[in-house]
Amino acid sequence: MALLGSFSLLLALALSAYSFAAGAFALLRKDHPSSERLAETARRAGIATWVAVTTAAGALVVAAFTNDFSLAYIMQHSNRDLPAAYKFAALWSGQEGSLVFWSWLLATYGLIMRLRHKVDVRLVANASVIVAAVQVFFLALINFAAPPFSLVKNVPPDGNGLNPLLQYPEMVVHPPMLYLGYVGFTIPFAFALAALIMRYPGEKWIHITRRWTMVTWGFLTVGIFLGSYWAYKVLGWGGWWGWDPVENASLLPWLTGTAFLHSVMMQEKRGMLKVWNVWLIFSTFLLSIFGTFLTRSGLVSSVHAFAQSGIGPWFVVFLSLIFATCVFFYMKNRDHLRSEHRLESLASRESSFMFNNLILLVACFTVLWGTLFPVLSEWVQGTKVTVGPPFFNKVNIPAGILLLILTGIGPLLAWRKTSIESVKRNFILPLSAGVLTAVLLIVGGVRPWQDSSYFYALVSLSLSAMVIVTIVSEFYRGARVMRTQTGQNMLMSVVTLTRRNTRRYGGYIVHFGVVVVMIGFAGAAFYQNTEKELGKGDSMQIGTYTLTVDSYTQDDKPNYTSEWAIVNVTKGGKHIATMYPERRFYKASQQPATMVANRSTLKEDLYLVFSGINQDTGRPIIKAHLNPLVWWIWAGAHFMMIGTIIALVPNAQPMKVTSSERVRAPARAVEDSSAQIAVGSGTHFSGTQIGTSTNQVSGQSGRLASSTDSLADNPAGASD
Amino acid sequence: MRSPMRRLVPIRWLVSALRSLQLALLAVVVAFTVGASDANTRLNALGHEMMCQCGCNQVLLECNHVGCTVSEGMIAELKTAINSGAGDDQILQQFVDKYGPVVLAAPTTTGFNRVAWIMPYLVLVLGLALCVFFVRAWKHRRPALAAPAVPMPPDAAGLDEYRRRVHQETEI
C-alpha cells in the first residue's frame, strides 16, 4: 500500500505539473498550430490527476481497514477495534491524510470542471491552468513536506487509535463538508482570475460559476453548522460556538463568500462592482487557504489540537504567490473592470447590497483581527494576550444585528431607486411586527435594561419578527398574483411562484433560515446551569425541571469502557424523561470523553453532563445546562440548506413575452403586467433600461417612464 | 420675525433631552452595578472573563475537560476572592499576577490592548465613510457604458441587442 500510495502521489504531482505547464504554454502561444492539441493534453492530464490522487487516497483507506500499522499515519490515527466508519474517517483525521483528502477533493472539482469544458472551452482552459497550479502546491506538500505513506521502523501490534473527540457520527460528516467548502472556492476563484487574465467580455463567467459558488457556500455552511453541532453534543460545555481560532478560520471565507453571493447580483444585473466582486472572490479563496494554514501551522493556539507541523512556511509562500498573481493581473487588466452603470440612490437595492457587504466584511475583519491579535500583541508588547468569547461577542453582536436589519430592509427596496412613499408603505407591517414583539417580550418579563445580553436578545427577536413578516409578505404578495393568474390555491401558488424564480424565493428561504438561527442565538441570553454531586436518589433543580439520579452503571466495550448515570427528569411532579449522561474512557488513546444527554424541545434543551467523580467523596458530579431555543439554530440551518438547494434548481416555465407583443405594445405590456412580470420571473428592474429599450419601440416615453417607476416601486417585482 | 425666546425653545428641549438621556444612562449603570453585586452573579461574570489555564483554551466556567483539576482550583480561588470582599478589578488583577495576562478572556482596555477594541469599530466607521463617499461619487459620475440614447434601429439585429439587455436586467 505504501508503495502504491507514494507512487500515485508522485504521478499525480507530475500530471498536475504537466497540466499546468502545457495548459499555460498553449494559452500563451495560442497562435501556434499545435496549441489546441496541447491544451487538450493539459485537460486530459488534469483528468488523469484525479485517477492518481483517488488511487493514493484509496490506498490510505485500505491501509486503515487492513490495520497496516507499518504506516506511521495509520498507526497514529487508527487501531484494530476502531469501528469501520471511524477507520474511514481516519483519512481526514490527521495532517497528512487530510491533505490527501484535500487534494482529492480539488482533483474531483477539477475533474467536473474539465469534463464540462464545452460550456466555454477557452475560459475553462484558463481556469483549468489555475486549478492545476493550486493542485501542484498541495501535491508538492504531501509529496515532500507531509508524506502520508511514511513507514515506521518497528511495526506495533496495534495503533494509537483515533482521538476520542473525533469518534462521533457528526465528525464523519463535518470535515468532508467543511473541506468541500474550503476547496470548492478554488473553482470560482479560478474562473474569476481566468476571466480577468483573458479580459473575458460580459458576465458569462459569473453565470457559469454561480452554481459552483452556491454549492460551495452550501457545503461550507453545512460544515460550519455540523462542527457547531458536534461541539455542542461532544465537548460538553453547553455551548455551540467558542470562537476558537479554528472555528474562526471556517467563518472567514464563509463571510466573504456570503458577501460575494450578494454583490455578484449587482454585476449580473447592473454591470456594477466588478472590481469589488473580483477581489471578494480572490479574498474568499485566500482566506480558505489562510484558514488551512491557521489550522495546521500552530500559529495560534487552538482547542482543536489538529496536527500541527512545519508546513507553515509552505503556506506563507503559496499565499504570497497567489496574492502577487492576483495583484499583477488586476493592475494589468483593471480597465476591463469598469462599471457599466452608476448607483443612483441610497434608497435602492444596490446600496443595501453595498451595506450588506460592508457589514459582512467588517465582521470578517473583526474575526480575523481577534484571531491574530494574540500574535500581534506578542510581537509588539512581548506578552501574549487572550482574545476569547467576550471580545468576539461584544464586537460581533452589533454587526449581526445590523445584518438582520438589512435582511429585513433589502427585499423591500427596488433596484435603482425606491420612493419614500414606497418605503413607508412597505415598512409599516414589518415594523409593527417588530415593535409588537418587543412589547410582548417586555410584558413577558424580558428586561433589556437589566443586562446587555437581554437587550441584545430583545433587539434580535424583535428584528427577527420584522424580517419574518417581510419574507412572508413577499411570498404572500407574489402568491396572490399567481393565484389570480393560474386559479391555483394559495399553497400551490407559493410552490409555482418559487419554481418560477427559484433563485429569488430560494434566497428568501435562506434568509428565513438565518433569522431562525438568530432566534436560537438570542436564546443564549436566558441560559442557566448548575452542578452538583449526586448520589443515588439525590435530586437537583434547574429551571422547572427536577433531576433525580436513579442509579449509576458501567460497561466495557472493545474500544472503550464507560460509566453513566440514569437520571429521571420530572416537571411539576410529572415524569417526562429518563436521561443517560455518560463518560467514556478510550483504551487505545488512554483518553476520556463525555457523551452528553440532551433533551431538546422547541423551548429549550435540557443538557446533562457526567462531569466525573469527586475523588474525595466518591460521589459522581452531574452538570446540568438549560439552553433556551437551541433547537432553532439547527432548524434554521436546515432552512438555509433547503433554500440553497431550491436556489440551485433551474427556473420552471420562464415567462415568455413574444417579440411581436414587445414591439406592438411594450408600454401596455409593462404597465398591465407589472405584477405578472414580478411573479413570472421578474427579479430585476431597471427603469431606465426597460424605459429606454421599450420606449423607443413605442415612442410612448411618458407612459413608460411612469410604468417603470411603478415597477421599481413594486416590492414584489423589485425583489431578488 | 421670531422672538429670541422662541429661538431658545429648541435649545431647552435639547438640554432637557440630554438630561433625560443622562438620567437613563445613570439608571442603566446603577442597574448593572446593583445586579453585579450578588456573589453568584459575580462568580458567573468573572468566571466568564477568565480562561482556564489547563491548556484547553476555553473560558474558565466552560472548561469541558473531564476531571480538570486546573479549572476546579481556579474556580475555588475565584470563590474565595469573591467571599473575601475584593472588588472585580482587584480579583482580575490577582489572577493576572498569578497566571499572566493570558488568563483574561479578552484584552484589557489599557495600553496597546486598546487597539484590539478600537480597530473593529474604526474599520466599520471607515467602511461606512467609504460607502457614502462612493455612493456620492457614483451619483455624480457618468457611467462608462451609458445606455445609448439613439432611436432603436429598425433592423432585427438592433432589436435582438435590446432584447438581450432587457433579458439581462429583467430575466423576462
Is residue B114 included in any domain, yes or no?
no
Residues of B (105-164) whose Cβ lies below 8 Å from A: 105-108, 111-113, 116-117, 119-121, 123-124, 127-128, 131, 134-135, 138-139, 141-145, 147-149, 151-152, 159, 162-163
Confidence grade of residue B167 (pLDDT, cut at 50, 70, 90)? low
Instruction: Please check the confidence at residue A235 and state whether its pLDDT lies above 90.
Output: no
Write out the residue range of the structural domain in which residue B85 sits: 38-106
For residue B78, give how far its alpha carbon lies from the nearest alpha carbon of chain A (Å).
16
**Amino acid type, B123:** V
Q: Would the CB atoms of B145 and A338 count as touching at under 8 Å? A: yes
Is residue B62 included in any domain, yes or no?
yes
The last residue of a domain, from among A123, A138, A162: A162
Please indicate, yes or no, whether residues A104 and A55 belong to a single structural domain of this protein.
Answer: yes
Please indicate, yes or no, whether residues A664 and A628 belong to a single structural domain of this protein.
Answer: no
Is residue A600 included in any domain, yes or no?
yes
B49 touches chain A (CB under 8 A): yes
Kindly state the average pLDDT of the residues A142-170.
86
A690 neighbourhood in chain B, CB within 8 Å: 166, 169-170
For residue B108, give how far its alpha carbon lies from the nearest alpha carbon of chain A (Å).
9
Q: Would the CB atoms of B171 and A654 count as touching at under 8 Å? A: yes
- Is the Cβ–Cβ distance between A91 and A148 less than 8 Å? no
Is residue B113 included in any domain, yes or no?
no
pLDDT of residue B27: 55
Confidence grade of residue A699 (pLDDT, cut at 50, 70, 90)? very low
In this predicted model, what pLDDT tens digit does every residue of A282-297 receive, in sequence order? 999 999 999 888 877 7
Check the CA dihedral A679-A683-A688-A689 and report its sign.
negative
pLDDT of residue A101: 94
Least confident of A241-255, A470-484, A488-502, B18-32: B18-32
pLDDT of residue A572: 87
Share of chain A above pLDDT 90, in %: 44
- Identify from A342, A397, A455 which residue to disrupt to test chain B contact, counting B C-beta atoms within 10 A and taking the largest count: A342
Is residue B76 included in any domain, yes or no?
yes
A306 touches chain B (CB under 8 A): no
Q: Which distant-in-sequence residues (6+ apart) come within 8 Å of B112 by Cβ?
A: A377, A380, A381
By C-alpha distance, which of A60, A51, A42, A49 is closest to A5? Answer: A60
State the Cα–Cα distance between residues A404 and A512, nearest whole angstrom. 11
Q: Would the CB atoms of B106 and A386 count as touching at under 8 Å? A: yes
Q: How many CA atoms does the CB half-sphere of A315 hold within 13 Å?
A: 21
Number of domains in chain B: 3
Residues of B (24-43) whose Cβ lies below 8 Å from A: 27-28, 31-32, 35
For residue A13, give how far its alpha carbon lies from the nearest alpha carbon of chain B (Å).
38
Number of domains in chain A: 3
Kindly state the average pLDDT of the residues A374-399.
89
In this predicted model, what pLDDT tens digit does every residue of B50-69 receive, in sequence order? 998 887 778 888 776 655 67
pLDDT of residue A720: 38
Is residue A188 included in any domain, yes or no?
no
Please indicate, yes or no, whether residues A670 and A597 belong to a single structural domain of this protein.
Answer: no
B51 neighbourhood in chain A, CB within 8 Å: 386, 388
Write out the residue range of the structural domain in which residue A52 sits: 1-162
Kindly state the average pLDDT of the residues B127-143.
76
- Is the Cβ–Cβ distance between A223 and A180 less than 8 Å? yes
Confidence grade of residue A352 (pLDDT, cut at 50, 70, 90)? confident
For residue A15, give how far its alpha carbon lies from the nearest alpha carbon of chain B (Å).
40
**Who has greater pLDDT, A669 or A429?**
A429
Is residue B116 included in any domain, yes or no?
no
**Amino acid type, A469:** V
Please indicate, yes or no, whether residues A562 and A691 belong to a single structural domain of this protein.
Answer: no
Instruction: Please check the confidence at residue B170 and state whether its pLDDT lies above 80.
Output: no
Kindly report the length of chain A: 720
B121 neighbourhood in chain A, CB within 8 Å: 395
B172 neighbourhood in chain A, CB within 8 Å: 655, 657, 677, 680-682
Mean pLDDT score of chain A, rounded to an integer? 84
Residues of A (383-412) whose Cβ lies below 8 Å from B: 383-391, 394-395, 399
**Who has greater pLDDT, A471 or B41?**
A471
Please indicate, yes or no, whether residues A76 and A137 belong to a single structural domain of this protein.
Answer: yes
Instruction: Please check the confidence at residue A514 and state whether its pLDDT lies above 90.
Output: yes
Please indicate, yes or no, whether residues B20 and B44 belong to a single structural domain of this protein.
Answer: no
State the Cα–Cα distance between residues A300 and B53, nearest whole angstrom. 16
Of A340, A680, A682, the CB nearest to B144: A340
Read out DSSP for chain B?
A: ---HHHHHHHHHHHHHHHHHHHHHHHHHHHHHHHHHTSHHHHHHHHHTSBB-SSSS--BGGG---TT-HHHHHHHHHHHHHHHTT--HHHHHHHHHHHH-GGGBSS--SSTTHHHHHHHHHHHHHHHHHHHHHHHHHHHTSPPTTPPP-SPPPSSHHHHHHHHHHHHHHH--
Is residue B149 included in any domain, yes or no?
yes
Instruction: Residue B88: give its domain's CATH number.
Output: 1.10.8
Is residue A409 included in any domain, yes or no?
no
- Is the Cβ–Cβ distance between A476 and A679 less than 8 Å? no
Share of chain A above pLDDT 70, in %: 88
Confidence grade of residue A19 (pLDDT, cut at 50, 70, 90)? very high
Nearest residue of B to residue A455 by CA position? B28
Nearest residue of B to residue A399 by CA position? B124
Please indicate, yes or no, whether residues B42 and B97 belong to a single structural domain of this protein.
Answer: yes
Is residue B115 included in any domain, yes or no?
no
- Is the Cβ–Cβ distance between A637 and A221 less than 8 Å? yes
Please indicate, yes or no, whether residues A667 and A585 belong to a single structural domain of this protein.
Answer: no
| Separation in Å, CA A535 to CA A134, A207, A395, A563, B61 | 58, 64, 43, 14, 23
Please indicate, yes or no, whether residues B18 and B43 belong to a single structural domain of this protein.
Answer: no
In this predicted model, what pLDDT tens digit does every residue of A259-269 receive, in sequence order? 999 988 888 87
Please indicate, yes or no, whether residues A600 and A676 belong to a single structural domain of this protein.
Answer: no
By C-alpha distance, which of A86, A90, A63, A52 is closest to A152? Answer: A63
Please indicate, yes or no, whether residues A679 and A625 belong to a single structural domain of this protein.
Answer: no
A347 touches chain B (CB under 8 A): no
Of B59, B66, B169, the CB nearest to A594: B66
B163 neighbourhood in chain A, CB within 8 Å: 659, 662, 693
Instruction: Please check the confidence at residue A401 and state whether its pLDDT lies above 70.
Output: yes
CB pairs under 8 A between A and B: 190
Q: Would the CB atoms of B62 and A384 count as touching at under 8 Å? A: no
Please indicate, yes or no, whether residues A134 and A3 belong to a single structural domain of this protein.
Answer: yes
A672 touches chain B (CB under 8 A): no
Please indicate, yes or no, whether residues A611 and A663 belong to a single structural domain of this protein.
Answer: no
Is residue B25 included in any domain, yes or no?
yes
Of A358, A370, A688, the CB nearest to B147: A688
Confidence grade of residue A686 (pLDDT, cut at 50, 70, 90)? very low
Instruction: Please check the confidence at residue A534 and state whether its pLDDT lies above 70.
Output: yes
**Who has greater pLDDT, A374 or A615?**
A374
Interface confidence: ipTM more than 0.85 = no
Is residue A87 included in any domain, yes or no?
yes
The last residue of a domain, from among A613, A632, A651: A632
